[in-house]
Amino acid sequence: MSASVRNTVTSQENGSIFKNTLSHSIKKRSSNLDNELKKKSVVVNQAQAEESKAKKKDTTHYYSVETLADLQYRSQIKVLEKVYGEEVDMTPKPIQDDTYVEQFMKYNLNVMHQMTNFTTMVTKSTTRSRTRSSVRAGIGGNKQSIDDLMNGILYETINWEPYSTVEALEEAYEPKPYTKSFLKITLRKSDFFEIHSQTQTTVAKGTPEGDDAERDNRNYEYLTVGKGKIRRRSDNDAQTDTLLFTTRAVNTILITKATVSSYVSNFEMYDTLNNITKEFATATMSSVKDLTSALAQTEEADTFEDDEAVAEKDKVTSQIERLFRSPEFRNAIMYMGRTLSSNTNEAGLRRFRNFDQVERWNAEAEYVYSMNLLFRLVPEPSKDERKAVSDIDFCRSNGDILAVAYGLYSFSSQHVPTSGSVFLWSIKNPGEPERAYYYDVPVTAISFSPFLPSLLAIGLYDGSVEVRDVSSLQDTPVAVSQRSTSPGSSPVVAIRWIKQVSDDDHETDIDPFLSLSQDGSVTRFRIIKSPFLLGFTQMILERVEGHPEGIFVHPSSRIPCESNRHPQGLSITTHPLHKDIYYVLTDEGCIHKCSINYQHQYLEVLRCHDGGVTVMEFSPWSPKLFLTCGNDWFVRIWIDGITRPLLELLDEMTPVHWAKWSPTHSTIIVTVNRETANVWDFRRNLLRPMSKHKMDSSFNTVARFSHCGRTLVIGNERGNTLFNALNDMPFSPHFQYDELEKAIFKAIGNDHELLMELKSIGFFGYPNKKAVF
């Protein structure tokens, strides 16, 4: 460092002497100056090269010393972490890559060396060019030229020592060398999965730890190579799949399956579906042969005496009757009828099964509430008399099975049929019934059991009741009523099954049912282990005195006193939630709320119509909302807790025989009167129905919805049962209860008092807003 300082001082002294003598002899000095600059330029280059080598060595030494110091410092640090109660060494290990460190340091030193050479070359070229310009300039005058100023300034800045120039540039543009001797690596913990852990320890013998280790070793040897290896085993059965294994020798080639079209006739389908045994086929063929031979013998018997002809005819008749009494022959006829009926009713059957439904994204969908005829059930008249459809009911478990009662519908009819029947129809064969039960009196009411779907309760015109098992081919009923337990002789107008309420969990009796007679008596029947039904009187209705709750009806001045103390029963309905509650509808226009726990008093009486109440039906989306229809031409909607009707629907001045909520739309009601079937949607219109349809030339009697709610079955007085498809209906809303509540509040918005009463009830739907059918 002393030599460099000394050289710097010498260069400054030479510069000052050169300035003092410049005014006297410029030309002489310029030639000497050029020679001197050339010499010093050579000195600068040599000194710079030597200084560069020395500095490189010093820098390398500096980095190596710093790296060793850092590594030595980090080797004294140890990182420990507790994992599941044990200390684990988590100290990062140094990266052993000396080659990479040397390359990194060489790259930084080369960059610094190139910058030093570039600075020296700039200084050299600037000194040479501006010295020449200063020689050419003249002296004199107060003004100094720009070249003189620049030459003077640049000349004074000439530094003959290259290290001082490099240090000045490093202060202005100092590169940041890589001073760290390690790379930063972030380690994160992952999920710890322990598959197997068996610790291995080494402890001093005789210590408590040593005793534990020896005990563990003895236990390990006992379980692996000692007597503990042989353990007690027991075989037991378990519910596992039975796998059947086969050898490779018996494996067959993979069978590929494909869907291909093929022609199958109706006879081939019948042969596939029939379950006739070979024995029955042989017996049937022998019977047919006997029948054929008997017929041939009958033709020949005309030439013989009359006594022999009568004997042969009786033989043929007995054989035919025996053939028709055979259950296998009847099943064969039934299967054949199902196969052949598909040729004429295919379109109607497809619509009944909802095969072709309109999608929600159909742009051509129209809401016209149309009703189209699918097919009709026409029974064969018995005893050559026409009987009206008195009741209809679908099987609860199978929506393809329909029971139709034929007998008397209007009790004011001038002509009462002398017989009745119950036909069991299947949608697979609309042409012929699959079961037929005939009676000597008209049938007035039927009802399938919702708990045992094969049981059918039948009420007759003479007041008797019987239960049949429709799954049996026998014509014998399960049980019938008797006069000792049910002395009433009035026609049975309605039957409803009720759920058995019993605290005994082991009770295995069949659920009872209620029977309503025309004289206003309610009888409860129970099926027991006997050919007779066990019945007792549940309730006997009395006429209402005064003005009960509900609508106000002026007393009739023509009839000051009724001739009968008991009102006429018209229908019976059960509560959707409370299994012990039932409602009796009478010709007074009142609804009597009763309980099976009380036999001599009502729970409540509500007057709904000025005339007879024919139907009471609860909404599928609310256990409190119900509708009623009657002979005063009105259809009214009520809610439990309010004695005023919420809505009143009136279109024609004719009694309404039947009304029910649509199972698919919460705001649609279908009503049936004597001539037409009307579709109401009180969300859209309260003054008139959305559509009116005249079904047939005969008067309508009763109706039922199919299980899906898209088909309406209507019976008439001629005995025909019409299946009508409800087409062009609005799409079902996603939130049925919300739409129902919104429509009702909108309809009664003008009646402030009624609106407040309805709001005080609050939520009147089922839990979770579900539907109950």
Domains located in the chain, CATH noted: 370-501+509-552+564-728+743-761 (2.130.10.10)
Q: pLDDT category, 671, cuts 50, 70, 90? A: very high
For range 442-458, the mean pLDDT: 93
Best CA proximity match to 447, nearest among 532, 387, 501, 511: 511
Q: How far apart are CA 303 and CA 523, in angstroms?
A: 63
Identify which has the larger pLDDT, 755 or 34: 755
For range 59-66, the mean pLDDT: 56
SS3 628: strand
DSSP character at residue 203:
-
Best CA proximity match to 485, nearest among 512, 454, 449, 453: 512
Q: pLDDT category, 315, cuts 50, 70, 90? A: confident
pLDDT score, position 132: 41
State the CB neighbour count (10 A cutoff) for residue 142.
4
Most confident of 58-67, 216-225, 324-333, 725-734: 725-734
For range 49-63, the mean pLDDT: 54
Amino acid, single-letter form, for residue 754: L
The string of pLDDT tens digits covering residues 562-615 is 667 889 999 999 999 998 999 999 999 999 999 999 888 899 999 999 989 999
Contact 175, 111 (CB under 8 A): yes
> Which range (261-275, 521-535, 746-760) has the least confidence?
261-275
Identify which has the larger pLDDT, 179 or 220: 220
Dihedral sign computed on CA atoms, order 193, 197, 202, 204:
positive
Identify which has the larger pLDDT, 282 or 686: 686
For range 749-764, the mean pLDDT: 92
pLDDT score, position 561: 65
Identify which has the larger pLDDT, 164 or 631: 631
pLDDT score, position 139: 39
pLDDT score, position 374: 92
Q: How far apart are CA 450 and CA 394, in angstroms?
A: 10
Q: pLDDT category, 441, cuts 50, 70, 90? A: very high
**pLDDT of 164 higher than 90:** no
Q: 448 has which bridge partners?
A: 456
SS3 154: helix
Residues 6+ away with beta carbon under 8 Å from 317: none
